[in-house]
Amino acid sequence: MSALLTFEDVGMTYGHTTVLEGVNAEIAAGEVVCVIGPSGSGKSTLLRCGAGLETPSTGVVSVAGEPVGWTRRRGRLVPARNRAVARQRAQLGVVFQHFELFPHMTVLENIIEGPRGVLDVPAEDARQRARELLGRVGLTAYESRYPAQLSGGQQQRAAIARSLAMRPAVMFFDEPTSALDPEMVGEVLQVMRDLAADGMTMLVVTHEMGFAGQIADRVIFMDGGRVIEQGDATAVLTRPQTARCAEFLSRILERPVA
């Protein structure tokens, strides 16, 4: 199994606070990996490092063997230029907890912004592709709406379409349903299920344990900035090997799962 996304000894320190420490993980092409753990455990930081939005203080994240945020020069790794970093980020899709659609653009404008401005796709092609994606996430009728006119679930689906328009190699989801009203969680999870079924490589930070169980090939449990346990999804979720993971799951599962 060749890894598409690799975390090698990734650590992150802000001032005197260590947020991530010695994280090693591999995600194969087409694999869906869910990251779970209590809040403040470093899940989102790990995701942002993976997506190239932050550069880890130690260690390296690589996508298809290419270190993210670094270039090889004469056999050594040096920080990549801004443009090179931007090019890398362009192939890594991120879906945020609070959607982060651009409020001053319509849904369609949001989706074609990246392809048009970053990838230089001709306007007509970008629009056609955007409409195709809107169909896939069930928002065909909403292309000329502004984000504030949509429900949370619709906004999140539009945000997923915006990321997909860049034809990313990996999709990162940062608690994509935590900001949603309960009745809208399902529609977003369904879109993600479809994506997984299409073979998209996904790293998902989530609190939806039931969903993780259905969709994930593997689960990574984090606490205190470290990976405590990782392995086959069903195994980790139903027969956790560590006390901390077991305790976390029992706390989470006391509440009904979506």
Partner 1 sequence: MSTVEIVHERPPGVRLLAARRSARHNLAVSAVVLVIAVLALFSIARNHRFQWGVVGSYLTTGAVLKGLLTTFWLTFLVVALGLVGGIVVALLRRSRVPAISWLAWLFTWFFRSVPMLVQIIFWFNFAALYPTLSFGIPGGPTFVSAPTNSVISPLVAVIIGFALHESAFMGEIIRAGLNSVPSGQWQAARSLGMTEGRLLRRVVLPQVIRVVLPTIGNEAISVMKETSLISVIAVTDLLYSVQLIYSVNFQTIPLLIVATIWYLAFTIVLGMLQWLLERRFGRSVRIAAPASRGAAA
Please answer whether residues 42 and 20 qualify as being in contact, where contact means their C-beta atoms are separated by less than 8 angstroms: yes
Q: Is 44 in the site for partner 1 (CB under 8 A)?
A: no
Q: In the bound complex, what is the minimum distance in angstroms from residue 146's beta carbon to partner 1?
A: 4
Structure letter (DSSP) for residue 173 = E
The amino acid at residue 186 is G
Please answer whether residues 114 and 166 qualify as being in contact, where contact means their C-beta atoms are separated by less than 8 angstroms: yes
- Binders of partner 1 in range 106-125 (CB under 8 A): 106, 113-114, 117-119
- Of 117, 152, 119, 114, which Cα lies nearest the Cα of 130? 114
- For partner 1, give the closer residue by CB, 70 or 99: 99
Among 59, 91, 193, 210, binds partner 1 (CB under 8 A): 91
Q: Is 50 in the site for partner 1 (CB under 8 A)?
A: no
Q: Is 150 in the site for partner 1 (CB under 8 A)?
A: yes
Please answer whether residues 54 and 224 qualify as being in contact, where contact means their C-beta atoms are separated by less than 8 angstroms: no
Among 103, 122, 135, 199, binds partner 1 (CB under 8 A): 103
- For partner 1, give the closer residue by CB, 183 or 232: 183
- For partner 1, give the closer residue by CB, 94 or 233: 94
Options 69-77, 85-93, 212-220, 236-244: segment touching partner 1 (CB under 8 A): 85-93
CA distances from residue 229 to 63, 69, 206, 211, 241 in whole angstroms, order as listed: 22, 27, 16, 19, 7
In a 13 Å sphere around the CA of 233, the CA atoms on its Cβ side amount to: 17
The residue ranges that bind partner 1 (CB under 8 A) are: 48, 51-53, 82-83, 86-94, 96-106, 113-114, 117-119, 146-155, 159, 162-163, 166, 178-181, 184
